[in-house]
Chain A
Amino acid sequence: MDMEIILVRDPTREEISAGFKTALEKANTEEVKTAIESAIVTMEERWKVEDEVFEAAKKAAVTAELAALRGEVPPAVMDAINVAMEEPSPPASTTQEPASESHQTPVDTMSESASETPVEKTEQEMRVDNTEKFIKAAGELLENAKRRALGFLQEAKKIDIRNPLGWALIVAGTQSVFYAWAATLPALSGGNEFVQTAGMITSSAIAALELGASYVLFKEEFKVRSTKTANTSQQ
């Protein structure tokens, strides 16, 4: 009969507490009583942590959202994070170049097109092509770094960082160093633009990570809530 009370659909904390109290009153042996008391303590500790996580995650989500509203998080970064969250494993390389370059007669082709314009155009095209290879390589590295960072976030409980802002806090230290270093850049790269770009991109990455952190923790929170009934009924 008591099980019916505990298995109330999505019970409130009060209902769960009441269920435990009833069970405690009806406990016949010291052993059962101790087990129930211990379960109550565990449950209350869990609720405390849940509250902390939930509040912190809300805060981080707001921070990230505000950053996005201020235009500090480029949509592409947001999209990348969303994709990374959906597909945690790195995609296999889809470069198909070898197949398309399997012709053995590039020289013959060149000798056939002897006019100057096509050759010039080809050189320009090759340059653009090369530039794209650098951009692609760097972009892939960044995507992988994001996946690693998000992967770490998913494992964050291992080192007991429950607060998603705890992620941004790490940034406080490294970001400061980055800014201090970036301030010395103009002499090397010849302009302030890069300092701004570097600052912007690191801010973007950080905001995106905060978003990622809150997303992970929100997901975790929902998981906890949805399995709460099942866990309770097991006890």
Chain B
Amino acid sequence: MNPLQTFLQKLDSIHSALDFTEGTDGVKADLLASINLDLISKIAADPKNKTLLEDLASHNPATKSDVETSLAYATEKMKDAGIDVNALFTEVANWTLQNYLSKLAVSFPPEQIDPLRALI
């Protein structure tokens, strides 16, 4: 199971425990975009990734089909640069889920929220 699947599974568990099962896609998309932005910021903020970033600049995808063609290149370059996207994603995703739970804690009793923290 890849980190994205793990994240979604945890999110589904949280939602189901809090009885939120319909119309969850919008929430998933928002959280995913949030993780994506934080992941990008995290990678970009690391000065040792500067060369990689400049390298990838010449392979900036303009369309979705470009993304597919540059997939192998980008993946290989990130691997070469020693960036562990899996670990970074997991770290950011867990942090996002913790924040999400903290925001929901305002609306739900601690008995419902606390066990879910352990899940993350």
Residues of A that sit less than 8 Å from B by CB: 63, 95, 97, 130-131, 133-142, 144-146, 148-149, 152, 156, 159-161, 163, 165-182, 184-185, 188-189, 193-194, 197-205, 209
- Count residues on chain B whose CB falls below 8 Å from chain A CBs: 64
A179-B68 contact given A130-B20, A165-B57, CB 8 Å threshold: yes
Closest 9 CB pairs of A and B: A137-B103, A181-B4, A169-B57, A138-B30, A145-B34, A145-B37, A169-B56, A176-B71, A176-B74
Question: What is the CB-to-nearest-CB distance from B8 to chain A, in angstroms, rounded to a whole number?
Answer: 6
With a cutoff of 8 Å between Cβ atoms, the chain B residues found around residue A142 in the complex are 30-31, 33-34, 37
A interface footprint on B103-120 (CB within 8 Å = 1, 0 otherwise): 110110000000000000
With a cutoff of 8 Å between Cβ atoms, the chain B residues found around residue A188 in the complex are 5, 8-9
Q: Check B47 against A159 for contact (C-beta < 8 Å).
A: yes
With a cutoff of 8 Å between Cβ atoms, the chain B residues found around residue A146 in the complex are 37
Complex alpha-carbon distance, A193 and B37, angstroms: 21
Q: Check B20 against A182 for contact (C-beta < 8 Å).
A: no
With a cutoff of 8 Å between Cβ atoms, the chain B residues found around residue A156 in the complex are 44
Question: What is the CB-to-nearest-CB distance from B93 to chain A, in angstroms, rounded to a whole number?
Answer: 11
Q: Check A170 against B29 for contact (C-beta < 8 Å).
A: no
Q: Check B15 against A148 for contact (C-beta < 8 Å).
A: no
With a cutoff of 8 Å between Cβ atoms, the chain A residues found around residue B43 in the complex are 170, 173-174
Q: Check B60 against A165 for contact (C-beta < 8 Å).
A: yes
A148-B37 contact given A138-B100, A198-B32, CB 8 Å threshold: yes
Complex alpha-carbon distance, A169 and B62, angstroms: 10
